Structure 1
Amino acid sequence: MSGTVWFVGAGPGDPDLITVKGRDLVARAGAILYAGSLVSAAALSWAAPDCVVADSKDMTLEQMSDWLIAHASRCDTVVRLQTGDPGLYGALIELVQPLDAAGVPVQVVPGVSSAMASAAAAVESLTLPEVTQTMIFTRVEGRTPMPDGESLEELAAHHCTLCIFLSITLMGKVTASLRAAGWSEDAPIVVVHKASWPGEEKIVRGTLATIQALCREAKIVSQSMIIASPTLGARHWTTLAKSKLYDASFTHRFRRASVPSAALVADPHASSMKELP
């Protein structure tokens, strides 16, 4: 009989941002393999005193899968603790396949992504009514090539929110791709280094024209989220399109409209029209 290997998202850095389910699994695990180069060691504070803990930062993929299989043979619960969410830019499937082949049960617990933590740290919304309703999670091509049709320039042509992972050392490529996609020099960019990490978080705000120099000045060279979006800075806009869902003239199954909609005021005979969000 084999124990279960749980792939747990540790969240972006602040140990309090691990899910309750993830924390409970850490507490009952007999063995934990954590990504020490990215996951705060504070996330291990809930582990039992007799839990076997190993850091995977100097392991190969084969060594990691062998470690998980070996400990699953003697522990009911084994945790692979990964940064952010296991399904985003993690070796989830690469590790699951050898576990499947060995007959080891696998479960996944999602975690808070650094994209969400970065937006929260900067008090920014990644979507806004009538501005953009679309987010793209992507990266710039480095040693790992991008699939056809997924270059940053092609994706940036949508002019929606871009959360760009694993690319802070390639900021020149990022800015060049945005320019090629038609983004203006004054387009706002936010870079968040170590989002939510206590005492280590840095937020740099700039524009397409200035962000590379600002990041260099701040000595930001690792673990950073780049956000390019037409929504950035909306907190300080003087005019803002509001959500129709919360409009006093909008009826839905939990609330009746308390004032007439603009359409009904313009055409009082259109009382049978259905209002849509």
Structure 2
Amino acid sequence: MSKVTSRNKVYFVGAGCGAADLITVRGAKLLGLADVIIYAGSLVNPELLEYAKKDCEIYNSATMTLEEVMEIIVNANQEGKMVVRLHTGEPSIYGAVQEQMHILDEKGIDYESCPGVSACFGAAASLNLEYTLPDVSQSLIITRMEGRTAVPEGESIESFAAHGATMAIYLSTGMLEELQERLLKGGYDKNTPAAIVYKASWPEEEKYICTVGTLANTAKAKNIKNLAVILVGDVIAKSNYSLSKLYDKDFETGFRTPH
């Protein structure tokens, strides 16, 4: 590995968005070295556990509380065992990792993060989509609807929709009628392209291109109720964009002079 591993560390590893081979090389190696793995069983592909060594202790956090998870991590660390906390996707996005890190800080336990492929990037790959097309959109907004977890004031769907940028909306499939209404209220036209990608990169992946005005009906017709990322923006049409200056024959870079 490019970084030296330590048995005195806890490793937070991003599992990727679904397919077992979309975990990073570093993440797979960490799984193979771990004495203890605690994985998010409700969302992490169980095939990833095949990277673990035979005598590894494996726990499914789907049935556990934060206190129970941390008790296992802390006890294992004190016993000199290497721990991997395996989170779905990319842990820095809706991963609930900071609260775990805070407890480790309080106990003086060292930890490190290994990034993963988030669902919006798995969805983009599935659709062969570029989120940032010149003269169409140069920004990607990653957000979610408020549910049991609140959204800070000033981060409403309407306020983000007003930018007209590309949006990737997580954890909101069960509220698509409201989401659709708020996207329209915020400023997207009803004919703005949209997409629903269910379980991106999993064998059972489903993907549907629609519009903002047909989001709710599309999901209802296809019986998509959860585990999907919603994409919104004109980039989905893959049209009316300018070519990148990076490869323009008249554009000078540090590696190429104009012809």
Same topology, TM > 0.5: yes
Following superposition of structure 1 onto structure 2, how do residues 1-277 of structure 1 map, counting pairs within 5 Å?
Answer: 3-197=8-202, 199-234=203-238, 237=239, 239-258=240-259
Residues 205-263 of structure 1: CA deviation (Å, up to 9, x unaligned): 111122211111111111110000111120xx3x53101111111111101111xxxxx
TM-score normalised by the chain length of structure 2 = 0.95
> Match of 2:94, as an amino acid?
Y
Task: Give the distance between the partners of 1:218 and 1:72, measured in 2 at CA.
Answer: 46
Task: Give the distance between the partners of 2:136 and 2:253, measured in 1 at CA.
Answer: 23
CA contact (8 A) 1:188 1:232 kept: yes
Task: Give the distance between the partners of 1:28 and 1:74, measured in 2 at CA.
Answer: 16
Structure 1 stretches lacking a partner, 5+ long: 259-277
Task: Give the distance between the partners of 1:245 and 1:89, measured in 2 at CA.
Answer: 33
Structure 2 stretches lacking a partner, 5+ long: 1-5
Range with bigger deviation, 20-29 or 138-147: 138-147
Q: In the alignment, which residue of structure 2 is the partner of 1:268?
A: none
CA contact (8 A) 1:2 1:73 kept: no
Task: Give the distance between the partners of 1:248 and 1:103, measured in 2 at CA.
Answer: 55
* 1:205 aligned counterpart, secondary structure: strand
- Cα offset for 1:121? 0.5
> Match of 1:143, as an amino acid?
R
* 1:145 aligned counterpart, secondary structure: coil
Task: Give the distance between the partners of 1:214 and 1:21, measured in 2 at CA.
Answer: 38
> Match of 1:5, as an amino acid?
V
> Match of 2:15, as an amino acid?
A
Residues 119-146 of structure 1: CA deviation (Å, up to 9, x unaligned): 1101111110111111111001112111
> Match of 1:50, as an amino acid?
D
CA contact (8 A) 1:140 1:173 kept: no
Task: Give the distance between the partners of 2:108 and 2:7, measured in 1 at CA.
Answer: 8
- Cα offset for 1:32? 0.1
Task: Give the distance between the partners of 1:173 and 1:119, measured in 2 at CA.
Answer: 24
- Cα offset for 1:2? 7.4
**Runs of at least 4 residues off by over 4 Å:** none
- Cα offset for 1:172? 1.2
> Match of 2:223, as an amino acid?
K
TM-score normalised by the chain length of structure 1 = 0.89
Task: Give the distance between the partners of 1:136 and 1:115, measured in 2 at CA.
Answer: 10
Backbone CA RMSD of aligned residues: 1.3
Which entry has the higher C-alpha Rg, 1 or 2?
1
Residues 189-218 of structure 1: CA deviation (Å, up to 9, x unaligned): 101000001x21000111112221111111
> Match of 2:214, as an amino acid?
T
Task: Give the distance between the partners of 1:210 and 1:176, measured in 2 at CA.
Answer: 11
**Identical amino acids, percent of aligned pairs:** 38
- Cα offset for 1:3? 2.5
What is the number of residues matched between the two proteins?
254
* 1:22 aligned counterpart, secondary structure: helix
CA contact (8 A) 1:137 1:164 kept: yes
Q: 1:75 to 1:15 in 2, by over 3 A?
A: farther
CA contact (8 A) 2:36 2:58 kept: yes
* 2:167 aligned counterpart, secondary structure: strand
